[in-house]
Amino acid sequence: MPTPPPRRAATVPHTGVAGSDTPGRRPPHVLSPRPEILTGLSENPALPADLLDRLIADPYPPHQLFRRPDLTEPQLDALIERDAHGTALNRHLPEHVRHRLAGHPDPDVRAALVVSAAADERELFERLAADPAPEVRQKLAESDRTPADLRARLAHDPDPDVRAALGQYWTTAPEPVRRTLLTDPEDSVRAAACARYFRHLPHPVPPADLVPALLADPLTRAGAVPHADLAAADPARLAADPDPDVRHALAAHPDLPAAVRDRLATDPFALVRLAVFARPDTPDADRAALYAWLTGPYEPSGQDEDEETAIEHEFAHFAVGTELWMMRLPWVTADPLPHLDSPYPVFRRAAASPDLPAETRARLLADPDNEVALAAAASSPDPIDPVTAERLDREHRPRKRMRWRPADSYPLPVGTLRRLADDPVPRMRLLALRDPDLPAAVLERLAADPDPDVRHAAASHPRLHPATLRALLADPSGYVAASAAAHPALPVAEMRALLDAAGL
């Protein structure tokens, strides 16, 4: 394959663009456009067709370009030649283009069509269901848009990876399909169809008559334990199972005998102890001891164990914090009043029932643990007042990176948003930019904020002045510059100059 020509930096004639301080030359930001600039242009909905053609001619077009909904057929032809897989992922392709790509020699391209196809494209799904490549059929097994009858056929697919994917992803499959998967001769398929983890909710319940056989199979035992009749299953034997997932599932079983529960309360695997902590029948003193151990520093068991097991135990202990954050306790929610003053935040969070009296809910809204307060807000039938809404957002510290923040669910009034423009905390200043009528002076100040996240948000504000957009194109943060280049108010002359400077 020939090497694409290097992108050249160009100096173009002066066009009177604000910010140029050297007559006859473009501002510095267009002399050597960064890749982020072209990425932003590729997402700009106001990019004219002729400039889009020039961007498509880039030897390395930004992948965002392939997602545009306004691509013409000649443009799609050019992109297919450049990157058929990226083009196949576009959800806006005309039907005849999809069928053309369904005949592409690369199975990854055909599999990408499954990802982007709409549920009503029956003819395309039928064609792909007969595809000779198992990776294409596996994508069909994973997709909820695949017609149910075509998906059911995949339970008999010759490739076990396809059948295993069906067991993991189609959690609402009809019983005949689940029976077929749960009795599959291939170990990996049965393990996928009867597991502790599935790709979607709700988790499937195996047919009752299959549970004894699933419980006897080490590969499906952990997934079968929650559905087992413990009176006939020998819980003491299950409590000694070498698979911690089996013991974890057993520790949550509602019919667990007290003696076995107490044995599992000393299990070396932290998630097993966590399940005992969350049981309604665990004595208070035992629950307190479990919580102290679970939330305390990790200490090796002192037992003679191999390195893999030791690492597994340590990892499980560190996973406890996330598990506590995600935990649901229906028995607490059903009877919340005894748990309003629980020493365990997860119990107080579960006590945030929709049926709480207003004064009781107010206590939870004022809880020092922000997750408890958020749960109370989420279950409240009444609007959340602005002071509480601001506090919920200010104190929000998610355990993992996520886009959602409380202000998304509990919007702040304009007066609060404008006050937050001067807040010392950058993430709170970000909220000011949610005001669509933000005064120009405030908006310009935020566009020059020392925090790049604030400048990035400012660069997409609908009222931003074109001159400020030009300045943001030179921002030291690439993703701020990309946001400015994607703004529909960017003058077409500026877009053209950026492509000129890129040699496109």
CA quadruple 436, 438, 440, 444: dihedral, nearest 10: -90
List the structure tokens of 316.
């499980």
CA quadruple 271, 272, 273, 278: dihedral, nearest 10: 80
pLDDT tens-digit readout, 140-183? 999 999 999 999 999 999 999 999 999 999 999 999 999 999 99
Of the candidates 143, 175, 172, 140, the residue with the CA atom closest to the CA atom of residue 159: 140
pLDDT band at 33 (very low <50, low <70, confident <90, very high): low
Distance CA 414, CA 121 (A): 44
pLDDT tens-digit readout, 5-21? 333 333 222 233 333 33
The position carrying tokens 């002066």 is 14
- CB under 8 Å to 486, separation ≥6 — which residues? 40, 41, 43, 44, 460
Of the candidates 345, 351, 299, 307, the residue with the CA atom closest to the CA atom of residue 329: 351
pLDDT tens-digit readout, 348-364? 999 999 999 999 999 99
Of the candidates 126, 47, 116, the residue with the CA atom closest to the CA atom of residue 88: 116
Cα radius of gyration (the chain):
29
**DSSP calls for 22-86:** STTS--GGGTS--HHHHHHHHH-TT--HHHHHHHHTSSS--GGGGG-S---HHHHHHHHHH-HHH
The confidence score (pLDDT) of residue 306 equals 75
Measure the CA angle with vertex 447, ends 444 and 448; round to 5°: 95
- The domain limits of the chain are 1-47+413-504, 235-327, 348-411
> Packing angle between helix 107-116 and helix 122-129, nearest 10 degrees?
150
| Poorest-pLDDT segment among 120-129, 217-226, 301-310 | 301-310
Distance CA 228, CA 233 (A): 7
SS3 content of the chain, % helix, strand, coil (to 5): 55, 0, 45
Distance CA 385, CA 383 (A): 6
Percent residues over pLDDT 70 in the chain: 93
pTM, rounded to two decimals: 0.85
Distance CA 451, CA 432 (A): 14
The confidence score (pLDDT) of residue 302 equals 66
Percent residues over pLDDT 90 in the chain: 84
Query: Residue 107: is its pLDDT beyond 80?
Result: yes
Best-predicted range by mean pLDDT among 35-39, 306-310, 482-486? 482-486
